[in-house]
């Protein structure tokens, strides 16, 4: 199962994801967290994202 949540900052995407993770026992992948990690580590992807 693949669920994608889109919305503006502060629209509740994270809140809804947390509820889905708890209720459906699904893994949560945050693209924002991935990009922040790669930017902080200066990986090729992080450099490209900046």
Per residue in 10-37, pLDDT (tens digit) is 999 999 999 999 999 989 998 889 999 9
Nearest residue to 3 (alpha-carbon basis) of 18, 17, 19? 17
| Domain ranges within the chain, ordered by starting residue | 13-49
pTM, entire model: 0.64
Q: What is the 3-state secondary structure (H, E, C) of 14-29?
A: HHHHHHHHHHHCCCCC
Structure tokens at 30: 């945050």
Rounded average pLDDT over 38-50: 95
**Cα radius of gyration (the chain):** 13
3-class DSSP assignment, residue 40: helix
Question: Among positive and negative, which fits the CA dihedral 22, 25, 27, 31?
Answer: negative
User: Residue 15's pLDDT is what?
Assistant: 95
User: Residue 23's pLDDT is what?
Assistant: 96
């Amino acid at each position: 199962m693949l669920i994608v949540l889109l919305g503006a900052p502060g629209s509740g995407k994270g809140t809804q994801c947390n509820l889905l993770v708890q209720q459906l026992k699904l893994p949560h992948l945050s693209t924002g967290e991935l990009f922040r990690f790669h930017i902080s580590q200066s990986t090729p992807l992080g450099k490209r994202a900046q």
